[in-house]
Structure 1
Amino acid sequence: MSLPGRSPRRSSRLPLTLLIAPLLAACSGQDAQTVLNRTVSTSGLNVSTNVRYGPDARNFMDIYSPQDAKGAPTVLFIHGGSWEGGDKEGHRFAGESLARAGYVTAVMNYRLAPVNRYPSYVQDAAAALKVLRDRSVSLGGSPDNIFVMGHSAGGFNAVEVVVNERWLREVGVPVSSIRGVIGIAGPYSYDFRQFSSARAFPQGGLPDEIMPDRHVRPDAPPHLLLVAENDSVVYPQNALNMEAALKRAGIPVTRTVLPRVNHLTIMAAIARPLTFLGGTRKAVIDFIETHRR
């Protein structure tokens, strides 16, 4: 119960604004994810952990589903971490958030660099898509109503696995079953040879051979590219180049610069208690609702 004249929403959000937002700014990525996970509960959802999609020790995903879902949009979420770190457990908040929105959501692990370089982690995304699609009906989802989504390095994986026709063809997933791709602060178009992330790519590899903006298939689904206004990790030019490549191929694309957020908080704003940080969750849900079957 609230006091007369006091907004219940404001009274509940103020402590989060004062306590969590500064904590996120001070935390490393992994510590911030731990904080975010503590703000959410999966009570009332169906959660299947460690669903295997391949033979490697990291070929597992966790699946979050609304209770009594039937024919729901199905989302594959891919975490970031410069292709060398991160995990599905740290992104429980993303699975919970999207499941509460009504979507069957898989949060996957993938093989990490430098031991596993491109295209290993993209092939993992394709394999996970295959298993998720095959199991979607039993989970309450739809095999022809799939969205692929990723943050940072995971955004690269999400875009590359769909726009490069090779990867879906290898696993037998029709591109027509993918209704949309959502990239959040992803590095889709850069010369990795100038950065430490070169460890994630083959020695002697060239950007023209690897970057998703060089691979756009003519039948790719619509894309949403979300950019953090204050991103100092992934340059905005990545999204500009990706947008241009998609437009040249005639692919519907929306590039949205979200104000106030940085490379970390653009992802944190997916968490339901932290939507005050930015418009990520709303933008994602609006996109899915627009393009779902």
Structure 2
Amino acid sequence: MSSRKFTRAAGLGLAAAALGLTLAACSPQNTLNAVTSTNGLNVIQNVRYGPAPRNVMDVYAPKNVQNAPVVLFIHGGSWQNGDKEGHKFVGVSLARAGYVTGVMNYRLAPEHRYPDYVQDAAQALKVLRDNAQSYGGNPDNLFVMGHSAGGFNAVEMVDNARWLREAGVPISAVRGVIGVAGPYAYDFRGEPTAVAFPPNGNPDDIMPDRHVRPDAPPNLLLVAANDTTVDPYNGVTMEAALKKAGVPSELKVLPGLNHITIIAAMARPLNFLGDTRQQVIDFIETHKLP
């Protein structure tokens, strides 16, 4: 496989199946979410951030919290599938850590190509910020996190100067971005994921590693050592671009994890798989406002 190749983003259900988290008549992903309790949390479903049917997010917040960090999470799925419902476990996990967390849907390819889904992320962040105080969050203490294709969306939206400005989100309000197994630096031409990008699109005009703003906030790039879906070299290349621009960054290669288990490990019952959740919490705690 090419060092920059990104072929597909499999569903979390594959990981759950491998872990034996199956129940009769239920998908493995639904099983994981079914054992993820929201007791003690406030959950606001289908918060609308735009006019399209998929322009919605679910917000998970600790009860009686005030001035908490706010996290927007973006799911993966090759920009062609996936949804917020399948990532309830991420919202709950981050809310249990004390953070107001939005888990968003976005418009999908091939009907919607770059930059539609990046613009969706920026607009979702704006709405989450505008309503942060009503959920107990601090609107100037924002973090963005994404897995796989969602990692691309997160890093591109935050590190490119264009998207926050267009959405009306102050760049100073975003304290950090977390990419989990994201494809930040690959040639999509000839790949199945080409349908997520403009016809005749050029990676030099699109890939997040090609246009990092020097005033971007700290980046945490988590890479699965055994990833065969998104080549770990994407993280290496993205970190090099960040360092060249003078942006603080951390590249962490997590041993024993693959493209799916690196995000499955965000679920508190699956922390034994690897260090994803603790890495994310440590990063937020380090870079949040005092």
Shorter-chain TM-score above 0.5:
yes
Alpha-carbon spacing, 1:24–1:160, altered in 2? closer, same or farther (3 Å): farther
- Partner in structure 1 of residue 204 of structure 2: 208
2:227 to 227, 231, 248: 231
What are the within-5 Å matches in structure 2 for residues 1-293 of structure 1?
22-23=18-19, 31-293=27-289
**After the TM superposition, which segments of 4 or more aligned residues of structure 1 sit over 4 Å from their partners?**
24-27
Q: Distance in 2 between matches of 1:24 and 1:237?
A: 30
Report how far residue 22 of structure 1 moved: 3.0
Equivalences, count: 273
Aligned partners of 1:36 and 1:268 also within 8 Å: no
Report how far residue 21 of structure 1 moved: 6.9
- Fraction of identical pairs, as percent: 67
**Could you say what the CA RMSD is over the residues aligned between the two structures, in angstroms?**
1.7
Report how far residue 34 of structure 1 moved: 1.8
Where does structure 1 lack aligned partners over 5 or more consecutive residues? 1-18
Alpha-carbon spacing, 1:250–1:62, altered in 2? closer, same or farther (3 Å): same
Q: Distance in 2 between matches of 1:78 and 1:34?
A: 18
In structure 1, what residue type is equivalent to 2:156?
E
Report how far residue 266 of structure 1 moved: 0.3
Where does structure 2 lack aligned partners over 5 or more consecutive residues? 1-14
Report how far residue 31 of structure 1 moved: 4.0
Report how far residue 38 of structure 1 moved: 2.0
Aligned partners of 2:17 and 2:28 also within 8 Å: no
Q: Distance in 2 between matches of 1:279 and 1:21?
A: 20
Aligned partners of 1:110 and 1:121 also within 8 Å: yes
**Which structure has the highest helix share of the two?**
1
Tell me the TM-score normalized by structure 2: 0.91
Aligned partners of 2:22 and 2:31 also within 8 Å: no
Partner SS, residue 209 of structure 1? helix
Q: Distance in 1 between matches of 2:286 and 2:246?
A: 18
In structure 2, what residue type is equivalent to 1:159?
V
